[in-house]
């Protein structure tokens, strides 16, 4: 059986920095305050013609560096490329954060005596290693929308469809179509893709 | 609750604008270099451009080298000492007589406080390095907490220990001679070893534990606190996340040296010189031991008519 290779793509020509994706994410997974699995960053703010925004979260990298450096091996990569981790194995050491090119890992202060607890990150709305759609999975990792055949919350609500997610073939198709219809300079790859997926 | 969440996210949006306002002009396929004034938990894209400098180095070392080196050094040191014990054997000194009073009660308390700190910190450090083999989870998570608690104890014992032994631990000409004959540990014969109150091996351990200890505390604190702001970074153009990466690399390499010397210290005091542990318990060192192992110190005491 062949699987999709799930990837995120944020179109900086379309992103209007509404922060809807990060709100949708926080609401969907009932994230604690201060934990931002997805964020919107605006660059060259206020400079005409140069300003743009992008939405960033875990890119679910190929050969994810977080998975490679984890001292307790709490990460696993699904057949469809989604990078997930087991919070009951994670020790919150922070190595995944040092290894991550996107600053995706988040650390809630819910450990012993309010210290840094175990890591939390974007699951591409695919939950975790617990039983699919169980109360425990929801409590630890948030919604498992992928299992229900739904689009991840962030992309689902994106009003301008700047943020899209899906099989790389489909995402690439949309990307090429958009670049062509704009009729101007072609980027080699979508923002962050060369770092996340190589080439 | 949700209102608070929305409000906070709103503030985060404002904060994101704040961040964005500070970054230099970039092209769309190039991530900007932040001024270093961002906290890791909220910084993101700023990482991408400079990831190749320290991020990739950290990944390379952690994936290929740290675990291997820790394993190799530990096993290597243990095997060397096992062979030493079997082939050359421990040194035995006469323990008759009152002995020479070398460690006051204050020094012994400070020593054992630091010793307890090391006993807490070093095994838990190894537990984290080899967390995979232990299956992670609560056991290794607890080890991480104990690692921090041990550090607090080390910080407390650090200053008195540094001050009380600073002078006798300063290098002397005896140290060169000591190194040339490797402290007399390679012969079964009782030889007169050139050393003052402390020999070159003890001095090496002292300086690695003290100066290395400061670096270990500093780099460990960076990893522990994670979200901190150092305005000095702006001046060097270093990202805060890169500083933590450097800290993690330093902590690992220095940890190897500290662990190796800690095992050495244990072997010397517990096995290599029979009864040498007594001096740290009651404060008295056997006169015979001092005569051979700390000959310069012995001569000095003789001259001062203290024996």
Q: Would you state the pLDDT for residue A197?
A: 86
Question: Could you tell me which chain A residue has the CA closest to the CA of B140?
Answer: A91
Question: Phi and psi dihedrals of A56, rounded to 5?
Answer: -130, 140
In this structure, what is the dihedral angle of CA atoms B139, B144, B145, B148, given to the nearest 10 degrees? 150
Tell me how far apart the alpha carbons of residues B137 and A45 are, in angstroms, rounded to a whole number. 43
pLDDT in tens, A121-144: 999 999 999 999 999 999 999 999
- The residue length of chain A stands at 199
Cβ-defined contact of B245 to A98 (cutoff 8 Å): yes
Q: Residue A50: its chain B contacts at CB < 8 A?
A: 25
Taking residue B182's Cβ as centre, other Cβ atoms within 10 Å add up to: 12
B79, with CB counted inside 10 A (0-12, 13-18, 19+), is exposed
Name every chain A residue with its beta carbon within 8 A of the beta carbon of B241.
97-98, 103
- Smallest CA–CA distance, residue A183 to chain B, in Å, is 17
In chain B, residues with a C-beta closer than 8 Å to the C-beta of A65 are 55, 59
Find out whether B26 and B32 touch, Cβ atoms under 8 Å. yes
Task: Determine whether the interchain pair B26/A43 forms a contact, defined as Cβ–Cβ distance below 8 Å.
Answer: yes
Picking from B92, B108, B8, the residue whose alpha carbon sits closest to that of residue B276 is B92
Q: Which residues of A touch B249 (CB under 8 A)?
A: none
pLDDT computed for residue B31 by the predictor: 41
Q: How many CB pairs under 8 A join A and B?
A: 161
Question: Could you tell me the two tokens for A134?
Answer: 């169980």
- Contact: B2, A27; criterion CB under 8 Å: yes
**A45–B25 C-beta distance less than 8 A:** no
B144/A92 CB distance under 8 A: yes
Per-residue model confidence (pLDDT) at position A42? 81
Q: Do B44 and A56 touch (CB under 8 A)?
A: yes
Mean pLDDT of A43-60: 85
At residue A7, the 3 state secondary structure works out as: strand
Are B307 and B287 in contact by the 8 Å Cβ rule? The answer is yes
The per-residue pLDDT for A163 is 95
- Dihedral (CA of A158, A161, A162, A164) sign: positive
- Helix B200-225 to helix B137-165 angle (10° resolution) is 130
Quick one: CATH architecture of A6-197?
Answer: 2-Layer Sandwich (3.30)
Position B72 scores a pLDDT of: 97
Rounded Cα gap, residues B236 and B243, in angstroms: 11
Residues of B in contact with A98 (CB under 8 A): 55, 58, 241, 244-245, 248
Averages of pLDDT over runs of 10 residues in chain B (307 residues) are: 56 47 42 39 54 89 96 97 94 85 95 97 97 95 96 96 96 93 89 92 96 97 86 76 92 97 95 90 91 92 85
pLDDT average, residue stretch A45-71:
89
B127 Cα to chain A: minimum distance (Å): 10
Mutate to test the interface with A, among B3, B7, B8, B9 (most CBs of A within 10 A): B9
Percent of chain A with pLDDT over 70: 97
For chain B, the residue count is 307
Rounded CA gap, B130 and B2, in Å?
41
CATH number of B38-93+103-172+200-275: 1.20.950
Find chain A residues with C-beta within 8 A of B136's C-beta.
72-74, 89-91
The overall average pLDDT reported for chain A is 90
Which residue has 């004959």 as its token pair?
B181
Q: Are A87 and A140 in contact (CB under 8 A)?
A: yes
Q: Domain locations in chain B?
A: 38-93+103-172+200-275
Angle between helices B240-267 and B66-87 (to 10 degrees): 10
User: Per the CB < 8 Å rule, is B12 touching A36?
Assistant: yes
**Contacting residues of A for B244, CB less than 8 Å apart:** 94, 97-98
* Residue B153 to residue B141: CA distance in whole angstroms: 19
**Residue reference for tokens 């002078």:** B167
* Residue among A21, A71, A162 with most chain B CBs within 10 A, to mutate: A71
**pLDDT reading at A52 higher than 90:** no
Residue A63, burial from CB neighbour count under 10 angstroms (0-12, 13-18, 19+): exposed
CA A186, A190, B15 angle in degrees (round to 5)?
A: 120
For B128, the closest of A65, A93, A192 (CB atoms) is A93
User: Which of A64, A92, A96, A101 to mutate to test binding with chain B, by most B CBs within 10 Å of its CB?
Assistant: A101
Q: Taking CA atoms, what residue in B is nearest to A119?
A: B41
Instruction: Encode chain B in three state secondary structure.
Output: CHHHHHHHHHHHHHHHHHHHHHCCCCCCCCCCCCCCCCCCCCCCCHHHHHHHHHHHHHHHHHHHCHHHHHHHHHHHHHHHHHHHHHHCCCECCCCCCCCEECCCHHHHHHHHHHHHHHHHHHHHHHHHHCHHHHCCHHHHHHHHHHHHHHHHHHHHHHHHHHHHHCCCCCCCHHHHHHHHCHHHCCCCCCCCCCCCCCCHHHHHHHHHHHHHHHHHHHHHHHHHHCCCCCCHHHHHCCCHHHHHHHHHHHHHHHHHHHHHHHHHHHHHHHHHECCCCHHHHCCEECHHHHHHHCHHHHHHHHHCCCC
Q: Is A119 helix (H, G, I), strand (E, B) or coil?
A: coil
Q: pLDDT for A152-197, tens place per residue?
A: 999 999 999 999 999 999 999 999 899 888 877 666 677 788 888 8
- Taking contacts as CB-CB distances below 8 angstroms, the residues of chain A near B68 are none
* pLDDT (0 to 100) of residue B228: 80
Cβ proximity of B177 and B143 under 8 Å: no
Band of pLDDT at residue A103, cut at 50, 70 and 90: confident
pLDDT of residue A108: 87
Residue contact A36–B41, C-beta within 8 A = yes
Q: Return the closest-CA partner of residue A87 out of A61, A112, A121.
A: A121
């Amino acid at each position: 059986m062949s699987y999709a290779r799930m990837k995120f793509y944020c179109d900086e020509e379309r992103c209007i920095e509404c922060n809807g994706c990060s709100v949708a994410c926080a609401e969907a997974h009932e994230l604690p305050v201060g934990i931002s699995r997805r964020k919107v960053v605006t660059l060259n703010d206020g400079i005409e013609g140069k300003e743009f925004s992008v939405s960033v979260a875990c890119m679910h990298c190929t050969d994810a560096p977080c998975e490679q450096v984890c001292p307790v091996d709490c990460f696993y990569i699904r057949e469809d490329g989604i990078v997930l981790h087991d919070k009951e194995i994670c020790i919150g050491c922070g190595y995944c954060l040092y290894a991550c090119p996107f600053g995706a890992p988040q650390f809630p202060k819910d450990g012993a005596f309010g210290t840094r607890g175990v890591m939390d990150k974007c699951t591409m709305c695919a939950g975790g290693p617990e039983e699919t759609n169980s109360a425990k999975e929801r409590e630890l990792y948030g919604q498992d929308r992928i299992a229900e055949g739904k689009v991840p919350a962030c992309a689902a609500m994106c009003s301008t469809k700047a943020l899209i997610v899906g099989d790389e073939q489909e995402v690439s198709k949309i990307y090429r179509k958009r670049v062509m219809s704009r009729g101007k300079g072609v980027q080699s790859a979508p923002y962050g893709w060369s770092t996340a997926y190589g080439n | 609750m949700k209102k608070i969440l929305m409000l906070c996210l709103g503030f985060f949006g404002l904060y994101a604008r704040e961040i964005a306002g500070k970054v230099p002009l970039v092209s769309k396929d190039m991530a900007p270099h932040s001024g270093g004034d961002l906290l890791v938990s909220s910084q993101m894209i700023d990482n991408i451009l400079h990831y190749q400098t320290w991020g990739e180095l950290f990944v390379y070392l952690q994936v290929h080298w740290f675990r291997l080196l820790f394993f190799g050094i530990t096993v290597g040191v243990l095997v060397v000492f096992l062979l030493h014990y079997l082939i050359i054997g421990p040194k035995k000194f006469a323990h008759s007589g009152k002995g020479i009073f070398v460690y006051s009660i204050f020094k012994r308390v400070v020593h054992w406080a630091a010793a307890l700190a090391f006993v807490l910190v070093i095994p838990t450090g190894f537990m984290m390095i080899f967390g995979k083999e232990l299956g992670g989870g609560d056991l290794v998570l607890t080890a991480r907490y104990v690692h921090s608690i041990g550090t607090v104890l080390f910080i407390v014992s650090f200053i008195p220990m540094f001050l009380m032994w600073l002078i006798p631990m300063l290098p002397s000409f005896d140290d060169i001679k000591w190194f040339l004959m490797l402290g007399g540990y390679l012969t079964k014969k009782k030889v007169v070893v050139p050393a003052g109150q402390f020999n070159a091996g003890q001095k090496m351990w002292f300086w690695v534990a003290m100066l290395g200890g400061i670096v270990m505390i500093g780099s460990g604190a960076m990893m522990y606190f994670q979200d901190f702001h150092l305005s000095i970074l702006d001046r060097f153009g270093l990202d805060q996340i890169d500083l933590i990466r450097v800290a993690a690399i330093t902590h690992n390499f220095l940890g190897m040296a500290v662990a190796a010397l800690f095992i050495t210290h244990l072997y010397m005091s517990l096995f290599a010189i029979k009864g040498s542990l007594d001096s740290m318990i009651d404060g008295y060192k056997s006169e015979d031991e001092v005569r051979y192992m700390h000959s310069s110190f012995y001569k000095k005491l003789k001259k001062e008519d203290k024996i």
